[in-house]
Amino acid sequence: MSVALDVKVDEAIDDSFDPFELQDTVTGDIRDPYPRMAELRRQGAVHVGHIDFTGSDPGVAPVDTGQPPPVSVFGHDEVVIALRDDKTYSSTVYEGIMGAVMGKTILQMDAPHHKLQRALVSPAFRSRVLERWEGGLVRSVVDDLIDGFAHRGHADLVRELTFGFPVRVIARILGLPMEDYPKFQQWTMELISVAANWERGMAASETLGAYLTAIIDQRRCRPADDLISDLVVTEVDGEKLGDEDILAFLRLLLPAGVETTYRATGNLLFGLLQHRDQLDAVRHDRSLFAPAFEESLRWEPPVTLILRRTLKDTELGGVAIPANTDVGLFLGGANRDERRYTNPEVFDVFREAQQHVGFGFGVHMCLGMHLARMESRVAVNALFDRFEDIHLDMSRGDDPHIHGMAFRSPTSLPVTFPVP
């Protein structure tokens, strides 16, 4: 089944398009921001003023915007306090760039609109509802990708597995026709990379909008077994979602549902592959998957930074913060707070389970966390089921390492395995 559209979705895919290259230009190659975060946290959990992580700060005086100097938060308890206090720390700071690209999404809303809109979309993301996607959809997407390299005895799991599977899962959950998947993946990656290429990202946002609007219209007439059909009929307290709301939410799902899962799964695999004893333990006792994934989210959260803007004068960690201050909440800093975690720099799936902020916290906590947990579990289980042994092969690839600042994940995961 194809979709009748005003936009030309049948245009040939640009052969030179490498979504991975586009993707990887976004965050820069900051290898390890954690020592600097730890140093800053030891000075104080809350810092006022600009902080340079790149070591290449040109030293240009900041433009006077009339706003108070920005604040950065590196302590666990302080980050939790701010994320739980949405009356003081507003998400409207995301209205600028994110709003321009995606429309008005729940990411940038405060109460009461946020609560209502989230309630409308959240039923589709409950863990019990997601079970129906696990065996048929997610596992078969993962198996298809593994089929592409299983005969070879080696692979780069970033390019050949983690990068490709969440976008296909989301496309199916949305109910897109399978022949549209390559185009959908390209638009998705261009939209996500909008910070690297503004014009291309905005064009992709527009094209996706036209494409998805046609599908929304179609589902209003003929509902099917998919998320878009659920969204057009869902109702809370007599309120329904309008087309603009649905469109904004669908656009938000791309960075939120595709990029984060790909990065988080890569970080987990990197942690496990670097620690053979832990990988073997999880392989032999799959009930260890849950603590292992949570530990990877603590150790290397795919999104390291959340922004808020204060609506009133406040105080955090003994530091006065005036109204209208941009506050950077470093999830990565919070997750490695030595006041809370023993040996926080160490990846250890056996550590005592403790809540972390790898999925954020407060009313905006990741809506897709149960989907992410399931997708990542299915991918790792499939690798264990299909290969008796799997090794990180540092002789292949170019010095694989986790990199990035706002978003972090491995540059590559070169592995070798016995051909089944």
369 binds other proteins (CB under 8 A): yes
Segment interacting with other proteins (CB under 8 A) among 59-67, 180-188, 227-235, 363-371: 363-371
* CA R_g for the chain: 21
Helix axis angle, 181-192 to 165-174, nearest 10°: 110
Q: Which is nearer to other proteins, 67 or 355 (CB)?
A: 355
Buried b (16+ CB within 10 A) or exposed e, 395-411: eebeebebbbbbbbbbb
Give the nearer residue to other proteins in terms of CB position, either 241 or 392. 241
On whether the CB atoms of residues 306 and 359 are closer than 8 A, the answer is no
3-class secondary-structure state, position 305 = strand
Bridge partners, residue 316, by sequence: 319
The residue within the footprint of other proteins, chosen from 36, 118, 286, 386 (CB under 8 A), is 118
Binding segment (CB under 8 A) for other proteins, from list 15-23, 49-57, 122-130, 141-149 = 122-130
Q: Is 342 in the site for other proteins (CB under 8 A)?
A: no
Q: Which of 402, 378, 315 is nearest to 134 (CA)?
A: 378
Smallest CA-to-CA distance from 107 within 125, 88, 121 is with: 121
Residue 354 Cβ, how far from other proteins at the closest point, in Å? Answer: 7
* Least distance in angstroms from the C-beta of 34 to other proteins: 23
Between strands 326-330 and 71-73, the pairing is parallel
What x-and-dash track marks residues 272-311 binding other proteins by CB under 8 A? ------------------x---------------------
CB of 29 to other proteins, least distance (A): 32
Binding to other proteins by residue 350, rule CB under 8 A? no
Count residues near other proteins (CB under 8 A): 22
The 198-237 site mask, x for binding other proteins (CB under 8 A), equals ----------------------------------------
Task: Please report how close the Cβ of residue 363 comes to other proteins at its closest, in angstroms.
Answer: 5
**Which candidate, 178, 183, 192, 243, places its Cα nearest to that of 213?**
243
Nearer to other proteins by Cβ, of 317 and 400: the residue is: 317
Among 3, 48, 84, 385, binds other proteins (CB under 8 A): 84
DSSP state of 280: H
Q: Do 292 and 278 contact (CB within 8 A), yes or no? A: yes
Is 351 a residue that touches other proteins (CB under 8 A)?
A: no
Residue 249, interface with other proteins (CB under 8 A)? no
DSSP string computed for 127-190: HHHHHHHIIIIIIHHHHHHHHTTTTTSEEEHIIIIITTHHHHHHHHHHT--GGGHHHHHHHHHH
Instruction: Name the residue with tokens 């094209």.
Output: 207
Does residue number 113 form part of the binding site for other proteins (CB under 8 A)? Answer: no
**Residue from the set 165, 347, 361, 407 that interacts with other proteins by CB under 8 A:** 361
> Following DSSP, what letter does each residue of 203-253 receive, concatenated?
HHHHHHHHHHHHHHHHHHHS--SSHHHHHHH-EETTEE--HHHHHHHHHHH
Of 84, 81, 108, nearest in space to 96 by CA: 108
User: Is 202 or 236 the residue whose CB approaches other proteins more closely?
Assistant: 236
115 lines the binding site for other proteins (CB under 8 A)? yes
Query: If binding is defined by CB under 8 A, does position 355 make contact with other proteins?
Result: yes
Q: Is 126 in the site for other proteins (CB under 8 A)?
A: yes
Q: CA 343 from chain center: how many Å?
A: 25
Two tokens at 36? 């600097």
Closer to other proteins by CB, 111 or 195: give it.
Answer: 111
- Quick check: 394 binds other proteins (CB under 8 A)? no
Q: Least distance from C-beta 187 to other proteins, angstroms?
A: 30
Measured from the CB of residue 264, what is the shortest distance to other proteins in angstroms? 15
Residues that bind other proteins (CB under 8 A): 83-84, 115, 118-119, 122-123, 126-128, 290, 353-355, 360-363, 365, 369-370, 373
